Amino acid sequence: MSPSPSLLHLAVALDGTGWHPASWREPVARPRELFTAGYWAHLVAEAERGLLDFVTIEDGLGPQSSHFLDPDERTDQVRGRLDAVLIASRIAPLTRHIGLVPTAVVTHTEPFHISKAIATLDYVSTGRAGLRVQITARPGEAAHFGRRTIPRIEAYDSPGAQELVTDLFDEAADYVEAVRRLWDSWEDDAEIRDAATGRFIDRDKLHYIDFEGKHFSVKGPSITPRPPQGQPLVTALGHQTVPYRLIARQADVGYVTPHETDEARAIVAEIRAEQETAGRSEELLHVFGDLVVFLDDDPAEAAARRDRLDVLAGEPYTSDARIFTGTPSQLADLLGEFQAAGLTGFRLRPAVAGHDLPAITRGLVPELQRRGAFRTDYEADTLRGLLGLTRPANRYAAA
Amino acid sequence: MSKPLKQIHLAAHFPGVNNTTVWSDPEAGSHIEFSSFAHFAKTAERAKFDFLFLAEGLRLREQGGKIYDLDVVGRPDTFTVLAALAAVTEHLGLTGTINSTFNEPYEVARQFASLDHLSGGRSAWNVVTSWDAFTGENFRRGGFLPQEERYSRAKEFLATTQELFDSWHGDEILADQASGVFLRDAKAGSFVHTGQHFDIHGQFNVPRSPQGRPVIFQAGDSEEGREFAASSADAIFSRYATLKEGQAFYTDVKNRLAKYGRRHDQLLILPAASFALADTDAEAEELARTVRRQQVSGATALKHLEFVWNRDLSSYDPDGPLPDIDPDVSDNHISKGRAQVRMYRDPLATAREWRELAAANNWSIRDLVINTGNRQNFIGSPETIARTINAYVQADASDGFILVPHITPTGLDAFADKVVPLLQEQGVFRTDYEGPTLRHHLGLAHPDDVQDEQRVAS
């Protein structure tokens, strides 16, 4: 089901000092504070000031790198990061409306642990939690765990690589399925506190999930009761058919990276077809476009800033997502075009967090509001509510 | 001149999944909502406690093949709650119980180092082990660890996380915007660990945290557990809150420190302790009796007996005599996911002893369970409790206590308001925090300083 086309949804993707590798060198960047709670609190407060739907927080189980699959030895870029779920939780009591969507790497972690962690984030934030699931094919990260080896991908289009990636995404789908079942493993009214019989819970309203998959099995039930949203938001980024299938089967929000409107239209069509195949055509599934943004009042200034950062980085910045350089008004035009092509929202990646995030909240948002394309106040108390998603029925509850 | 008075350490255990937690009281609030945790933590911080403590359970307990429904059931995720509590407190230490069996060192080290950064140096880890396949059914590992391997895995797990914490020294991040050098050393975080349980290498991606390493707690009373604590822990969470048992445990564990080159004050001994506090001693005695009856309903008493009998006793009358049949001494099949079941090492002897006790006192099943378990450690007026706690600490029965109130989340309020000021007047408890980190509160040196000291000494 496609959401109503009037308002668009906006998220920002937070990653260190910003998505440009030289962003930390900007005067606004505060790189020495990256590992403090105050740094993240400041960014998320700014995003909430702009009435954004949610923030995502990037994560990884190894050092950042300029190579896709291997660590590098660079000392001129930000290295090191804190656990994203814990950052989100640390910020939750300091915010009131904005959704908090940390990244979890599903290849090496436990679905039982992440299920209760995100359920708890939902309690801590009173209904504003989400999860962005991510796989990793880095052999080095597998070596940090030592439980499995992941063969090095030599050529992305080789059958071996395709097989590996498909297997990792199938595992991610299993992971999300186990997590979702765990969230439902307590019915909403399972806690009864019946003093007459001495029973704290009605155990008939707790359910074993009995998940069996290729890589793991989980018995359940969760140790954490069903979270306030019932099902916190599940999100994933995809660039091709295999991850689109994960989005279509399991996600509430998929992030995609079209560079042109025709491409956006094709991707949305593919995801909607997969959604139908998965039997979810009646469910609301958002498809958000990811864009890296350099925003300034003067387009030349934005372009000059990008050039300046590229010189500092020693190479032109490239990305999987389209890189936008220009004014908030120009970006609003572009988002409108993408929206007309079927995208229901956008996850903007600020090139420099300290500069481009305020440019989004104080420049782009008012511009979208003037056009009647964005909310003027938070209209719901939960993240699902902000995105127009209803609170789902519990799959185990007797009808 | 008399010996200077020892300073008392106090901590607060959030009441949870345990039959000492009274959920039926009208004052009892949520065990899940964050507002409960925030209230509890703020009370502990108002009282200048050293830290808040969270226990753990990774599978819902079962009895007779069904989920146990008489106690509080359910709890939130430890790390996630502690990170959120860091936002509503400034000084309070944040101690989480995390199992070394159903986790991997790289991830746990990342989480504790992150928590330490996000709390400004207030994280602590209570390292526990588990071996049972029952809990393992929720995890990839699938299950189980041979029982004899649980300490060897725990030891290697802890040593591996320490290697990861130490893989950053603390001076690597230059973040010099002018020169463009972010990292002083491209190899920061490099590690190689090869051992029986873990064979891992690479680069740890969380820079050194304010405390260097989280404070390490250990619980566990076996010979191996005591050695493990003496060799590697900063504090031990014991269950001996009585004077004589406490002193025996204290002496035993402190005497083990020397062989690891550690001083007496490098391991704190902190028993869990419950209390019944009222305006007068007589009122407190009455409160204590009431709470014990709230903690042990008839149904709970029968279930408690089943831990020993290892049989379904649901047909018995809790207000009647004890069963005259003997316990089933085959492998436990009645109770799953409970630590306390293992406390009854000789069920036949326990049953015999209990039957004799009940007969001699004319006790019903419920009377027996009330009178043999869960007696509050400290009962009395604020003056009595303050005096007793201080006397125990000065007599080396412990270095302080981890208080376990029976009500969520207000169970600590009266203690904070009435007992703590008396301890402060006696000069045995802080009136304000001396420093920002949990290591400061506990009087523990920063690990880098300890290493320097050992280098100088050797």
A69 has a chain B CB within 8 A of its CB? no
Residue B457: its pLDDT value, please? 53
Q: Which residues of A touch B139 (CB under 8 A)?
A: 110, 112, 216, 218
Question: Minimal Cα distance from A38: which residue of B?
Answer: B118
A interface test, pick of B75, B167, B171, B182 with most A CB neighbours within 10 Å? B182
Q: Which residues of B touch A140 (CB under 8 A)?
A: 202-203
* Axis-axis angle for helices B150-166, B223-232 (nearest 10): 10
A149 has a chain B CB within 8 A of its CB? no
Cβ contact B87–A197 (<8 Å):
no
Q: How far is B74 from chain A (nearest CA, A)?
A: 5
A77 has a chain B CB within 8 A of its CB? yes
- What are the backbone dihedrals phi and psi of residue B251, each rounded to the nearest 5 degrees, phi first? -60, -45
Does residue B458 carry a pLDDT above 60? Answer: no
Cβ contact A35–B137 (<8 Å):
no
Does residue B282 carry a pLDDT above 80? Answer: yes
Name the token pair of B424. Answer: 């402060």
Amino acid in position B408 = T
Going by pLDDT thresholds of 50, 70 and 90, the confidence category of residue A379 is: very high
Residue B336: its pLDDT value, please? 87
Question: Minimal Cα distance from B114: which residue of A?
Answer: A82
Question: Angle CA(B87)–CA(B88)–CA(B90) in degrees, nearest 5?
Answer: 85
Residue B224: its pLDDT value, please? 85
Cβ contact B80–A144 (<8 Å):
no
Q: Which residues of B touch A215 (CB under 8 A)?
A: 140
Find the range with the poorest average confidence among A153-162, B290-299, B417-426: A153-162
Q: How big is the A-B interface in CB pairs under 8 Å?
A: 230
Q: Which residues of A touch B186 (CB under 8 A)?
A: 73-75
Going by pLDDT thresholds of 50, 70 and 90, the confidence category of residue B453 is: low
Residue A390: its pLDDT value, please? 96
Does residue B62 carry a pLDDT above 90? Answer: yes
Q: Give me the helices (H) in chain A, please.
A: 37-49, 84-91, 111-124, 139-143, 159-184, 241-250, 261-277, 299-313, 328-340, 353-359, 365-370, 383-386
Residue B152: its pLDDT value, please? 86
How far apart are the C-alpha atoms of A128 and A387, rounded to whole Å? Answer: 11
Q: Which residues of B touch A113 (CB under 8 A)?
A: 77, 103
Does residue A280 carry a pLDDT above 60? Answer: yes
Q: Which residues of B touch A219 (CB under 8 A)?
A: 59, 137-138
Cβ contact A200–B75 (<8 Å):
no
CB A390: neighbour CB atoms within 10 A?
10
Cβ contact B102–A110 (<8 Å):
yes
Out of A77, A87, A116, name the one closest to residue B118 (CB).
Answer: A87
**What is the average pLDDT across B153-181?**
96
Across chain A, mean pLDDT equals 96
Q: How far is B88 from chain A (nearest CA, A)?
A: 7
A253: left (phi over 0), alpha (psi -120 to 50) or beta: beta
How far apart are the C-alpha atoms of B342 and B429, rounded to whole Å? Answer: 36
Residue B315: its pLDDT value, please? 95
Cβ contact A121–B81 (<8 Å):
no
Beta-strand pair A322-326/B335-336: unpaired
Out of B177, B180, B205, name the one closest to residue A80 (CB).
Answer: B205
Q: How far is A120 from chain B (nearest CA, A)?
A: 5
Q: Which of A154, A159, A203, A209 lies closest to A181, judged by CA? A: A209
A112 has a chain B CB within 8 A of its CB? yes
Question: Minimal Cα distance from A115: which residue of B?
Answer: B77
Say if residue B147 is exposed, middle or buried (CB neighbours under 10 Å; 0-12, 13-18, 19+): exposed
| pLDDT tens-digit map of A39-62 | 999 999 999 999 999 999 999 999
A96 has a chain B CB within 8 A of its CB? no
* Axis-axis angle for helices A241-250, A159-184 (nearest 10): 10
Residue B1: its pLDDT value, please? 54
Does residue A155 carry a pLDDT above 90? Answer: no
| pLDDT tens-digit map of A57-98 | 999 999 999 888 888 989 999 999 999 999 999 999 999 999
Out of A64, A143, A223, name the one closest to residue B202 (CB).
Answer: A143
**What is the average pLDDT across A293-305?**
98
Residue B144: its pLDDT value, please? 67
A interface test, pick of B66, B67, B77 with most A CB neighbours within 10 Å? B77
Q: Are B76 and B151 in contact (CB under 8 A)?
A: no
Cβ contact A24–B182 (<8 Å):
yes
| pLDDT tens-digit map of B198-220 | 999 999 999 999 999 999 999 87
| pLDDT tens-digit map of B318-341 | 999 999 999 998 888 888 887 656
The pTM of this model reads: 0.97
Whether the complex's predicted ipTM is more than 0.90 is answered with yes
Going by pLDDT thresholds of 50, 70 and 90, the confidence category of residue B129 is: confident
Q: How far is A40 from chain B (nearest CA, A)?
A: 10
Cβ contact A89–B200 (<8 Å):
no
Query: HSE of A362 in the Cβ direction (CA atoms, 13 Å)?
Result: 10
Q: Which residues of B touch A57 (CB under 8 A)?
A: none
Going by pLDDT thresholds of 50, 70 and 90, the confidence category of residue B445 is: confident
Q: How far is A383 from chain B (nearest CA, A)?
A: 18
How far apart are the C-alpha atoms of A213 and B149, rounded to whole Å? Answer: 27
Residue B401: its pLDDT value, please? 97
A203 has a chain B CB within 8 A of its CB? yes
Question: Could you tell me which residues come within 8 angstroms of residue B148 by beta carbon, excluding any fewer than 6 positions away?
Answer: none
Out of A120, A141, A217, name the one closest to residue B77 (CB).
Answer: A120
B interface test, pick of A26, A108, A113, A202 with most B CB neighbours within 10 Å? A113
Question: Could you tell me which residues come within 8 angstroms of residue A116 by beta carbon, excluding any fewer than 6 positions away?
Answer: A182, A222, A223, A224, B76, B77, B80
A224 has a chain B CB within 8 A of its CB? yes
Does residue B451 carry a pLDDT above 70? Answer: no
Question: Minimal Cα distance from A85: which residue of B?
Answer: B80
Residue B340: its pLDDT value, please? 59
Residue B204: its pLDDT value, please? 98
Out of B32, B59, B84, name the one closest to residue A90 (CB).
Answer: B84
Question: Minimal Cα distance from A26: which residue of B?
Answer: B177
